[in-house]
Chains A and B, each alone.
Chain A
């Protein structure tokens, strides 16, 4: 009995992070919600773009992406293109994600562009 206790505790600890949060991984969110316009490769070449009047941003474009601060990226994801005077075709995702998920998406975008603000 006694020597099984540590095992039980370990298993319980392992289960906590899985059950305590419904937070999704940034990559999974990106590949569910963003690639329809921004493309499988994040290069702006999504399956929806043919008849769109404004083309989605190429997220692998370090020059363009480094022009935006993390706060601006957070804002455009949460509130949509109009919030930073860009196209309405970039939707607001505030009803889809938690703020934490949006922060993770900003970090994920920094990985895609391999860039920081002001590079």
Chain B
């Protein structure tokens, strides 16, 4: 051994870099995303372009998270995740024929990974930096206001309720529940998604109903009113 001091120095360097990597993995949201989330969530675009890709998707795309979610909601949900899509990511993989009609096979639905408060905070910060599709949300601006016939539009005029639950246990199963939508989602995202779901996700099974922009404003104002209601007694 001609350079024992060098070997010791290298070992010390190795140990220091290892332990700092450990600290980083707890605090650095981007690292957590890469290591613990990327197996199910796309952190880079584009969205699924074929049915084969759509069917393989294990979780919602997160590469435009910063243009989609309310940060406070993300942080809270990651610590206490509750189901949003009653029939899972791709409903077809979670349904079976029932006595009267097809039903959700709940045994196929798995609970979501839970993060600690520190992790959730770091991840929420990292997610808000993922900002694909800014050109879509930049075009939208909500004019907040009352929505006298928003509910009628959602249920009857456009038939959105066929796929979305407007309160726990009431409405369709193949899309996300909407009675929490405005807690979760930014207004500009909702306006843009309803206007053209395929611009966000070309193969998604939500149709473009071609609602005029004024009516989309009413629909989103309705979703905002709806999310202020307390449904804790219904569930």
Residues of A within 8 A of B (CB): 22, 24, 28-29, 31-33, 35-37, 39-41, 45-53, 80, 87-89, 91-96
Contact = CB atoms under 8 A, between A and B. Distances in A.
B147 interface: no
A47 B85 CA distance: 13
B91 A47 contact: yes
Contacts of B172: 36, 47-48, 51-52
Contacts of B209: 80, 91-92
Contacts of A52: 161-162, 172
Contacts of A24: 50-51
B196 A40 contact: no
Contacts of B104: 47
Nearest to A55: B101
Contacts of A29: 51
Interface string B192-222: 0000101000010101111000000000000
Contacts of A32: 51, 54-55, 92, 203, 205
Given A37-B162, A47-B91, A89-B162, 8 more contacts: A29-B51, A35-B102, A36-B91, A47-B173, A50-B101, A88-B156, A91-B159, A95-B208
Nearest to A92: B207
A96 B208 contact: yes
30 contacts: A22-B49, A31-B92, A32-B54, A32-B92, A32-B205, A33-B205, A35-B92, A36-B91, A36-B163, A36-B172, A39-B97, A39-B101, A39-B102, A40-B102, A47-B95, A47-B102, A48-B163, A48-B173, A50-B101, A51-B161, A53-B156, A87-B159, A88-B157, A88-B159, A89-B159, A89-B162, A95-B207, A95-B208, A96-B198, A96-B207
A46 B102 contact: yes
B205 to A, nearest CB: 5
Identify the interface centre among A48, A50, A87: most chain B CB within 10 Å of its CB: A48
Contacts of A46: 101-102
Contact of B208 (A37, A39, A51, A92): A92
